[in-house]
Structure 1
Amino acid sequence: MINIEKVHGSQNSFFLLDQTKLVKPLTTTELQNLVIKLTDSKTGLLGGSDGLLVVEPATAPAAIAQMRIFNKDGSQALMCGNGLRTVARYLAGKLHQREFLVQTAAANLRVQQYPDLAPGVPAFSVEIAPVSFTANDVGWHNLPFTKIINQPIPAFSANLKFTALAVPNPHLISFVADIHESHEILGQLGQELNQPNQYFPGGVNVSFAQILAPNKLFVETYERGVGFTNACGTGMSATSLAGHLAYPEQIAADELLTVYNLGGLVKTKIHSRVNGYWIELIGNATVTHQIYLPEKCLHEAEFEQQQVSLVETDEQDAYLKFVSTFKNS
């Protein structure tokens, strides 16, 4: 029997698979087939999820492991901040280390164990990098800009301004007066820019944000390859930096920011360096279920009920108790 986990960061949920445990690791095609079936709310396990996190041996000498991220539609993401926290927790427990490097598609990233957010709510800090503002990295076409920072883009909205950056996932961000009233507009724009279009042919993550108070934000994201999620780690990180660049009097660098989302909250910190920025993302790394199943179920992407054993942890109750302390306010 093989053990996989269901995990979440700010209720952005994933299944976590350690390929080093398998007799025969899954091929990329098998992983794509698996994620489409596993994450579906009807055909998957435990109501599905937002994606699949895959742990594999590192090919970079400084890293202790490699993380690959598969979206619900089978596409691969360069990075996932919420997912990296849960992978960091898994590796910390497996290898008995508190601080190390994890290899991702774009860079080796620093992760470290962080004090619990609340009783029973383990937390990790992860590096979000590299940061780029170029059209080549963010992926826009047919827009008259070399850099987009708090710019009106009439093709997208008659009255909103946008910032575009890659961290390294591409993000398009706008600050709005009321995040709830703007939900439908976000959904429409997110859907348009993640279907065949002339501006972002490779798609883009779209986030709307509201500044609640100095150094406090609320962020909602329409994720490329996924759609609406409870939270997007790279989206909240990118939005923190976009907020600082557009509204430095309200969003400070080198200070902890509180970023609320539909699934809870995270802390971020913008770090500047000679050649640009990196963002620190701090938040929960929660394991909701341990799942035991034959390895062939993974290869075949078939989950017969009698072959799968599900063991629920008590961590979700602890997380929801933590969220209840600020959700209503």
Structure 2
Amino acid sequence: MTMQLHKVHGSGNTFYILETTDEKSMDWSQLSIWLCQKENLGGADGLLLVAPSKKGLAKMRVINADGSEASMCGNGLRCVARYICEKNNVSEALIETMKAVLKVQKEAPIYAEIPTYSVEIAPISFELTSLPMSYKNKYEIRNEMIAEFADDITFTAVSVPNPHLIGIVQPDKITNTLHQERLSSMLNGQNDFCPDGVNVSYVYPMDAQTIYVRTYERGVGFTNACGTAMTASALVSSIVGVAQEGTVTVFNPGGFVQCHVKNNKGCFDLKLVGNATFIAELELNYEKENEWLWQSVKNTDEQKAYESLIAYTENKIAAIF
């Protein structure tokens, strides 16, 4: 059986898109583990499975590099949004995810002529049970020091719906990754706080409308970018007052995005806007159970255009750190 795939990325967060009419036709976890190996065409962060939906134009499932399944992925959803909109010749659509049906839309480029899409990020909850997370019988954690984690970082816990722990940090915690790696490894191993693990982001406010975010992603490790983490970081930055409400530009190791934060009397509307870059079109042959063989790989020229955004990002970051 031959399968058609696209290799794509949003903010350097790399995925394979595969469309299926039968979600039970294969062990998607094993396929994702195989696809994402670094020695296999450079690897990827996950598999985006596109399937039929009764609630939207399509359904998206997110299979991480380790075979686990995430409830959402903002960077991946932008890429699926482009795939679905171009296939159906529309500029906006509703796409079903694990916990919500979300609006996606084609947008004007945020840099040069790079294909750009926006995606709604929802649902949002600050209740620790939504992550889940447990800490001293607290209902929520907002802009608080947690002695067991650090003595110089304020943390906020939020699900969007992926679970996130957001820390506002000074530049030394950005230039040196050791503290974040140790904390993230602890919280994503056997621990008393986050039984299912958590995405951990360190955020440095660059100015009133700009932040830098680095994320250790559950099931992945340090990643170029995580869409829900960037959006959650913009939300938290707005709430604690280190960034203004509205449009927040978020720089990350993979580029930059725009996150729109709107406060409706304590209820938040979130939108993530950024690139949806198609790197290659591929054919994969399913040989037998859990065995696959590449048939063809056809690269596009879209990554060349994205490299100019990377150069711009690197110059901006170098001026800060």
Fold match (TM-score > 0.5): yes
For 1:27, the equivalent position in structure 2 comes to 24
- How far the C-alpha of 1:119 sits from its partner, in A, is 4.0
Q: Is the 8 A contact 2:256 2:313 kept in 1?
A: no
- Residues 252-307 of structure 1 deviation map (CA, whole Å, 9 limit, x = unaligned): 22x2111000000000010223561121100000000100133x25x644343xx5
Q: Tell whether 2:99 aligns with 1:106.
A: yes
Q: Is the 8 A contact 1:194 1:202 kept in 2?
A: yes
Q: Tell whether 2:34 aligns with 1:37.
A: yes
| Structure 2 counterparts to residues 38-187 of structure 1, below 5 A | 38-42=35-39, 44=40, 46-60=41-55, 63-178=56-171, 179-187=173-181
Q: Is the 8 A contact 2:120 2:271 kept in 1?
A: yes
For 1:265, the equivalent position in structure 2 comes to 256
The normalised TM-score by structure 1 is 0.91
Q: Tell whether 2:275 aligns with 1:284.
A: yes
- Residues 108-137 of structure 1 deviation map (CA, whole Å, 9 limit, x = unaligned): 001100012344410000000111011110
- How far the C-alpha of 1:28 sits from its partner, in A, is 7.6
- How far the C-alpha of 1:236 sits from its partner, in A, is 0.4
| Structure 2 counterparts to residues 221-260 of structure 1, below 5 A | 221-247=215-241, 250-253=242-245, 255-260=246-251
Distance 1:181 1:323, change over 3 A: closer
The gaps in structure 1 that reach 5 residues or longer are none
- Alignment counterpart, residue 323 of structure 1, candidates 310, 315, 319: 310
Q: How many residues matched?
A: 314
- Residues 33-85 of structure 1 deviation map (CA, whole Å, 9 limit, x = unaligned): 1011111112x3x211000000000132xx11100000111111010000000
Cα distance in 2 for residues equivalent to 1:176 and 1:148: 16
Letter in 2 for 1:281: L
Distance 1:73 1:139, change over 3 A: same
Distance 1:90 1:252, change over 3 A: same
Cα distance in 2 for residues equivalent to 1:195 and 1:223: 13
Q: Is the 8 A contact 1:55 1:66 kept in 2?
A: yes
- How far the C-alpha of 1:29 sits from its partner, in A, is 6.1
Letter in 1 for 2:301: D
Cα distance in 2 for residues equivalent to 1:27 and 1:143: 41
Q: Tell whether 2:309 aligns with 1:309.
A: no
- How far the C-alpha of 1:9 sits from its partner, in A, is 0.3
Taking every aligned residue pair, what percent have the same amino acid on both sides? Answer: 39
Q: Is the 8 A contact 1:85 1:124 kept in 2?
A: yes
Letter in 1 for 2:128: A
The gaps in structure 2 that reach 5 residues or longer are 317-321
Q: Is the 8 A contact 1:176 1:182 kept in 2?
A: no
For 2:319, the equivalent position in structure 1 comes to none
The normalised TM-score by structure 2 is 0.94
- How far the C-alpha of 1:242 sits from its partner, in A, is 0.7
Partner secondary structure for residue 279 of structure 1: strand
Q: Is the 8 A contact 2:174 2:204 kept in 1?
A: no
- How far the C-alpha of 1:327 sits from its partner, in A, is 1.6
Letter in 2 for 1:309: S
Cα distance in 2 for residues equivalent to 1:64 and 1:29: 22
Letter in 2 for 1:241: L
Distance 1:323 1:168, change over 3 A: same
